């Protein structure tokens, strides 16, 4: 039936291209049209958490840490439930990573605490003997960029319809809201209030002094982010 086509390589090539392109479109287009569906209980990041996420990206943590638990027993035993796509609905960009020099951090908020991170980020070797993770002492004195974090939250709210200030369904049937102030000044106030809760659990004096002076150290934002990874 298609002998005439087999004798004409050009049209045969075009035919193959059309078939593969069509199959591709059938697979790809629905994903763009459909909004990615967040898993029940997945909340957008607060401004402080976004700011910590930016610190995480700036310092290249993903060069050594993945954020994706694969569906294998040895992974779920160690890190917890394997990752589902709906958990990344508010991750822009996602930070799956491809390198695990250090452990996966997808669910680190379940088994590490604020004071553990405080000691570990300052001196990993002191907490985990033999650790090759670098020290990050400057995070205890550098200010986090809260204004940019607020701008990012406002951008994803407008562009991607991220549900700030809206009821978000939780696993137990209740609803929760993540607040996003309409102004950058309001965003700074919210982030500082959240930072105070975290710094209260820390012992570093530089951090406490900065927060008392109305500034948010990078380490506090980073810990807020790490605690949110569950
Ligand atoms: C050079 C590679 C490397 C880089 C870069 C790195 N880490 Fe690590 N990280 C490790 C290794 C190795 C471990 C395991 C030993 C330890 O706990 O210190 C680890 C452990 C951790 C743990 C403990 C996880 C657990 O389950 O016990 C956390 C949290 C962590 N890193 C956060 C970070 C953050 C945040 C950054 C970026 C600021 C970062 N790491 C950058 C290599 C790295």
pTM comes to 0.87
For the chain, what is the domain count? Answer: 2
Give CA–CA dist 137/95, Å, rounded: 23
Sorted by sequence, the CB contacts under 8 Å of residue 16 that are 6+ apart come out as none
Ligand 1 geometric centre to CA of 187 (Å): 29
107 Cβ closer than 6 Å to some ligand 1 atom = no
Percent of the chain with pLDDT over 90: 87
pLDDT in tens, 122-151: 999 999 999 999 999 999 999 999 999 999
What domain range includes position 166? Answer: 47-228
pLDDT in tens, 3-16: 888 889 999 999 99
219 Cβ closer than 6 Å to some ligand 1 atom = no
Quote the mean pLDDT of the chain: 94
So what's the pLDDT on residue 85? 86
pLDDT in tens, 43-78: 999 999 999 999 999 999 999 999 999 999 999 999
Whether cis (ω within 30° of 0) applies to the bond prior to 93 is: yes
136 Cβ closer than 6 Å to some ligand 1 atom = yes
pLDDT over 70 (residue 96)? yes
Atom of ligand 1 nearest to the CA of 132: 12
Q: Give me the CATH number covering residue 71.
A: 1.10.760.10
Residue at 215 is within a domain:
yes
**Phi-psi bin for 214: left (phi > 0), alpha (psi -120 to 50), beta?**
left
Same-domain check for residues 24 and 115: no
Confidence tier at 34 by pLDDT (50, 70, 90): low
Same-domain check for residues 128 and 223: yes
pLDDT in tens, 170-204: 999 999 999 999 999 999 999 999 999 999 999 99
Higher pLDDT, 33 or 205: 205
82: number of Cβ within 10 Å: 15
Residue at 40 is within a domain:
no
Q: Which residue minimizes the CA distance to atom 34 of ligand 1?
A: 61
Residue at 144 is within a domain:
yes
């Amino acid at each position: 039936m298609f002998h005439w086509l087999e004798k004409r390589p050009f049209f045969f090539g075009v035919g193959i291209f059309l078939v593969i392109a069509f199959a591709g479109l059938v697979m790809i287009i629905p994903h763009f049209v459909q909004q990615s569906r967040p898993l029940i209980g997945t909340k957008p990041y607060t401004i402080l958490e976004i700011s910590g996420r930016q610190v995480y990206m700036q310092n290249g943590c993903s060069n050594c840490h993945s954020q994706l638990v694969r569906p294998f027993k040895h992974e779920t035993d160690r890190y917890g439930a394997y990752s589902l796509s709906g958990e990344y609905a508010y991750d822009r960009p996602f930070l799956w990573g491809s390198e695990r020099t250090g452990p996966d951090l997808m669910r680190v908020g379940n088994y590490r605490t604020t004071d553990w991170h405080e000691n570990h980020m300052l001196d990993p070797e002191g907490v985990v003997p033999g650790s090759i993770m670098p020290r990050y002492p400057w995070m205890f004195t550098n200010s986090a960029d809260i204004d940019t974090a607020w701008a990012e939250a406002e951008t994803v709210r407008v562009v991607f319809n991220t549900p700030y200030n809206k009821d978000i369904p939780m696993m137990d049937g209740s609803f929760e809201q993540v607040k996003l102030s309409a102004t950058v000044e309001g965003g700074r106030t919210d982030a500082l209030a959240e930072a105070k809760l975290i710094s209260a659990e820390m012992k570093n004096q530089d951090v406490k002094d900065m927060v008392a002076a109305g500034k948010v150290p990078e380490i506090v934002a980073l810990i807020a982010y790490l605690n949110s990874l569950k």
